[in-house]
Amino acid sequence: ADLRVGVVGAGAMGADHVKRITRTITGATVSAIVEPDPGRRAAALALATGAAGFENIEDALAAGAVDAVLIATPGRFHEPVLMPAIAAGLPILCEKPLTQDPESSWRVLEAEMAGGKQLIQVGFMRRFDREYEELRRLIEAKTAGELLMLHAVHRNASVPDNYIQSMLITDSVVHEFDVVPWLAGGTITSVEVKYPKRNSLSPDHLREPILVLMELDNGVLVDLEMNVSVQFGYQVATEAVFEKGIARTGQPSGLQLWEDATFKIGDHADFTTRFREAYDRQVQAWVDAAKQGTIAGPSAWDGYKVAVACEAGVKALEAAGPVALELPAVPAFYAGRAAASV
């Protein structure tokens, strides 16, 4: 039988997932839309035939309307949705971040551990991007030698009005905090932020772009240009420097067009298309695993590690130099389950 998924939060990302589950994913249907805003709820319900609408997760759970929960609310509302879903023992796909600070992420880990079963997969979809997967294999195989450093760019055309300075870290760099250690096989030990000349096209309340430097315990150094007002489109790209080779991901690969003595290559406008395949693969893997009572991607522990990095990153926005970070020992509950991570 199809996995009956309740999608919690029907903003841009939630609506995108509703369409995905309805049109692309096999073995799952959207059985509930949980969204307090009546307009958004109705719009999402119109995309998912047969789904029931609820104002909050408690009502959806009480109605027995869902077998699994996909959380796509803003990050600050994740914990209040995660806790009842964990208590109900349901599989969960939680959009990034797990929660917005290490303390609340730790509470989530404790709740999951208390239930004795891994329920939470965190939506760091970059791990499902084929080029990142290939790059990770290349780094592991060492055919181009050891990885020395990564140059990364993360560029958004623009951001919504509610996007504040700390969100450069907690909403955007959060992805690199997950994917960089996963790629490079190390742990982040410090984060530093430098400010180049400010973009006059940035919203008044933002000081960006920023340059983020991450040091890993295996000696790999990472620089990231985080830039959210580039106007022209959406780019997430990495150049990996090896001892005897260079690898690049995320290069423009759309339509090639020669016109008016000019050559153009199509590129992306936003993350829904740039990572469409990654999102599809992530959600399919989650659905398949949920039916087997397991997860198939980043765990709650991975989410916790990222929360610790984000805390250092937010401090680094104000600090003069690198901000060191330290992780507690991985709880045995998660240590034995590395295989659950792709």
* Interface with ligand ISE (CB under 6 A): 156, 159, 171-172, 175, 228, 271
Q: How far is the CB of 96 from ligand ISE (least distance, A)?
A: 6
Closest approach of Cβ 259 to ligand ISE, in Å?
29
Residue 75 C-beta: closest distance to ligand ISE, Å: 9
Minimum separation from the CB atom of position 301 to ligand ISE (A): 20
Q: Which is nearer to ligand ISE, 154 or 305 (CB)?
A: 154
Based on CB atoms, which residue is closest to ligand ISE, 271 or 304? 271
Q: Using the minimum distance from each CB to ligand ISE, give the nearer residue, 136 or 154.
A: 154
What sign does the CA torsion over 174, 106, 123, 203 have?
A: negative
How near is the Cβ of 146 to ligand ISE at its closest, in Å?
29
How does DSSP classify residue 252?
-
Dmax (CA) of the chain = 65
DSSP-derived 3-state class of residue 267: coil
* 188 half-sphere exposure, CB direction, 13 A CA radius: 31
Q: State in angstroms the smallest separation of the CB of 271 from ligand ISE.
A: 4
**CB nearer ligand ISE, residue 147 or residue 175:** 175
Strand 147-155 versus strand 235-242 pairing type: antiparallel
**Residues whose CB is less than 8 angstroms from the CB of residue 178 and which lie 6 or more positions away in sequence, other chains included:** 96, 122, 124, 126, 127, 298, 302, 305, 306
Closer Cβ to ligand ISE, 18 or 278, answer by number: 278
Nearer to ligand ISE, 88 or 180 (CB): 180
CB of 130 to ligand ISE, least distance (A): 17
For ligand ISE, give the closer residue by CB, 171 or 311: 171
φ/ψ bin of 149: left (φ > 0), alpha (ψ from -120 to 50), beta (otherwise) = beta
**Considering just the CA atoms, what is the radius of gyration of the chain in Å?**
20
Buried b / exposed e over 217-236, threshold 16 CB at 10 Å, is eeebebbbbbbbbbeeebbb
Q: At what angle do helices 300-316 and 102-115 cross, to 10 degrees?
A: 170
CA distances from 165 to 146, 197, 212, 251 (A): 35, 16, 14, 27
Half-sphere exposure of 148 (CA within 13 A, CB side): 9
Q: Judged by CB, which is closer to ligand ISE: 131, or 288?
A: 131
Query: What is the distance between the alpha carbons of residues 17 and 271, in angstroms, rounded to a whole number?
Result: 13
Q: Which residue is nearest to ligand ISE (CB)?
A: 172
CB of 36 to ligand ISE, least distance (A): 20
**Cα 103 to Cα 66, 115, 166, distances in angstroms:** 28, 19, 17
